[in-house]
């Protein structure tokens, strides 16, 4: 039996714009998904027969990368699904890591590439941000400056250079709306808006500019500047139509005790993140406004073998 685990992530800045090849910053967080895989006579997931509808990420990974026959797959974790915290990426990464182990040929870059192809296949459109962050851990910067990327992923005219990013210890509070929001339809909605209007194109460019600036603020440890950029990033995401009243409420509730706050991930529900040095007060504000707070630690390891 092989047991692996992979972390969830939060996107600090640049979600949605990254799908268009723009820069983004993501960090792995200490909420992990564990996956155990054992050869078996047939395919099961948590005791149920493998189902194309319910286990789409695992099915896609098996179709593309596993030739070895039946598997007994079990998953358990702290990551609510559809929460915007990268649960599907963590599942895909942990599972791909496990089958590479069974095949006796693990390689970090290969896991990141394969997991991206699975997300792309299931969602229709995607960037490698979630899968790269979950594979590598720590922080990642996509398409930023600097040489020597961890890996480069190209798709048509889009190209993502994935760089390692040292992540300072920061207090981050995540507020989960409790609304399950699948990524695919939101990504497709932004694409339609982008194709139809110059305004959406300009908004994506503005997010890209803010993210570049955010990278500098992060390097210099300027939390005040970074927080402001995050809050502006949230407004631009709202303009793109991916926020919702519940996310806006949690962002507003957090701001009096935070440097900045924004939705994180694809939006439409899911979660927001606040940069704060008063985490208890932010958690309380989120709870009071109907959300579930998670106090997360950044700077954690990527996918790993547990057993
Ligand atoms: O919904 P999440 O947390 O998996 O975030 C996806 C991030 C997007 O930029 C919206 C999509 C992508 O594939 O990059």
Model's pTM, two decimal places? 0.92
Counting runs of H as helices and runs of E as strands, what totals does the chain give?
9, 13
Burial class (CB in 10 A: 0-12, 13-18, 19+), 299: middle
Ligand 1 center to residue 265 CA distance, Å? 5
Rounded Cα gap, residues 225 and 214, in angstroms:
8
* Domains defined along the chain, listed by start: 2-167 (3.30.230.10), 172-296 (3.30.70.890)
Alpha carbons 289 and 245: distance in angstroms, whole number: 11
Nearest CA to ligand 1 atom 14: 127
Q: What is the DSSP string of 189-211?
A: HHHHHHHH-HHHHHHHHHHHHHH
Rounded-to-integer distance, Cα 4 and Cα 2, Å: 7
Distance from residue 190's CA to the centre of ligand 1 (Å) = 12
pLDDT in tens, the chain (307 residues): 999 999 999 999 999 999 998 999 999 999 999 999 999 999 999 999 999 999 999 999 999 999 999 999 999 998 888 788 889 999 999 999 999 999 999 999 999 999 999 999 998 888 899 999 999 999 999 986 667 999 999 999 889 999 999 887 777 999 999 999 888 899 999 999 999 999 999 999 999 999 999 999 998 989 999 999 999 999 999 999 999 999 999 999 999 999 999 999 999 999 999 999 999 999 999 999 999 999 999 989 999 999 8
Give me the catalytic one of 51, 78, 130, 166: 130
pLDDT in tens, 141-155: 998 666 799 999 999
């Amino acid at each position: 039996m092989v047991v692996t685990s992979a972390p969830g992530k939060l996107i600090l800045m640049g979600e949605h714009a990254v799908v268009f090849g723009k820069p983004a910053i993501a960090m792995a967080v200490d909420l992990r998904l564990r996956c155990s895989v054992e050869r078996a006579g047939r395919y099961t997931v948590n005791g149920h027969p493998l189902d194309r509808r319910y286990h789409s990420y695992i099915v896609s990974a098996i179709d593309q990368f596993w030739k070895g026959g039946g598997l007994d797959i079990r998953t358990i974790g702290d990551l609510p699904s559809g929460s915007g915290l990268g649960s599907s990426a963590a599942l895909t990464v942990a599972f791909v890591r496990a089958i590479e182990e069974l095949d006796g040929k693990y390689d970090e870059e290969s896991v990141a590439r394969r997991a991206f192809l699975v997300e792309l296949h299931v969602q229709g459109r995607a960037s490698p941000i979630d899968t790269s962050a979950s594979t590598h851990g720590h922080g990642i910067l996509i398409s930023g400056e600097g040489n020597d990327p961890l890996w480069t992923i190209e798709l048509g005219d889009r190209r993502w250079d994935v760089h390692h990013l040292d992540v300072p210890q920061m207090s981050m509070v995540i507020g989960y709306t409790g609304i399950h929001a699948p990524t695919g339809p939101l990504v497709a909605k932004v694409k339609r808006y982008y194709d139809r209007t110059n305004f959406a194109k300009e908004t994506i460019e503005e997010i890209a500019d803010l993210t570049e600036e955010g990278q500098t603020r992060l390097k210099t440890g300027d939390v005040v500047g970074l927080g402001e950029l995050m809050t502006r990033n949230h407004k631009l995401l709202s303009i793109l139509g991916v926020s919702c009243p519940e996310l806006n409420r949690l962002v507003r509730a957090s701001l009096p005790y935070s440097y900045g706050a924004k939705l994180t991930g694809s939006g439409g529900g899911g979660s927001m993140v606040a940069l704060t040095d008063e985490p208890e007060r932010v958690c309380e504000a989120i709870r009071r406004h109907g959300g579930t707070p998670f106090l997360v630690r950044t700077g954690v390891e990527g996918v790993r073998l547990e057993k």
